[in-house]
């Protein structure tokens, strides 16, 4: 019989242990995200997938903020983050540090998520764009690759926090299979 686990049975790490634990070599870059709830949700997913950090860019709000905290549930404390006035600055910094820049967008020549492969030693910076306009073209131009989430419905659009969850789970799973 399946029984729902109580919170104390989940074997959660404390904040200090989490900060010291190994992380998935991924930085999430939020390119002008307007919804504070989306930002908080991405922080929570970043914590769940143990990624290296979140870069907030442009109009993306920064913690501490009540609306971010509503959905982040404390993940702004566990996940390292930085703010950049311009997304280009964040992307350039990450390129210099050896990250592969990957925009999550629908473009000519995009790679379907299930076809995108990672290798041992890869470091990825995943760029998620504005809720209406997506990733800025200038950032797509600076990207090493573009990943598209396959969709079969009529909308061909997912909420940014849902997209982040899908992509981070997929890529984290691929990294875990390498180890």
The residue extents of the domains of the chain are 22-178
The three-class DSSP label of residue 79 is coil
Which pTM does this prediction carry?
0.96
Is the distance from CB of 60 to CB of 39 less than 8 angstroms?
yes
Per residue in 35-48, pLDDT (tens digit) is 999 999 999 999 99
Residue 1 has pLDDT above 90, yes or no: no
Helix axis angle, 160-178 relative to 36-48, nearest 10°? 10
CA distance 65 to 40: 9
Q: How confident is the model at residue 34 (pLDDT cuts 50, 70, 90)?
A: very high
Model confidence pLDDT, tens digit, residues 54-96:
999 999 999 999 999 999 999 999 999 999 999 999 999 999 9
Domain 22-178 has CATH 3.40.1280.10: yes
What is the average pLDDT value for the chain, to the nearest integer? 97
The pLDDT tens digits of the residues spanning 153-167 come to 999 899 999 999 999
């Amino acid at each position: 019989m399946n029984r729902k686990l109580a919170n104390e049975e989940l074997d959660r790490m404390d904040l200090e242990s989490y900060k010291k634990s190994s992380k998935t070599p991924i930085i999430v870059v939020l390119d002008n995200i307007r919804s504070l709830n989306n930002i908080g949700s991405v922080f929570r997913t970043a914590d769940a997938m143990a990624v290296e950090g979140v870069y907030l860019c442009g109009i993306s709000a920064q913690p501490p903020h009540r609306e971010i905290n509503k959905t982040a549930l404390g993940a702004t404390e566990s996940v390292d983050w930085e703010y950049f006035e311009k997304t280009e600055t964040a992307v350039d910094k990450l390129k210099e540090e050896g990250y592969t820049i990957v925009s999550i967008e629908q473009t000519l020549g995009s790679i379907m998520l299930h076809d995108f492969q990672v290798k041992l030693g890869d470091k990825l910076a995943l760029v998620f764009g504005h809720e209406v306009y997506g990733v800025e073209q200038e950032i797509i131009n600076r990207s090493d690759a573009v990943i598209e989430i396959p969709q079969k419905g009529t909308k061909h659009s997912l909420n940014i926090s849902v997209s982040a969850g899908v992509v981070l789970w997929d890529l984290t799973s691929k990294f875990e299979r390498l180890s």
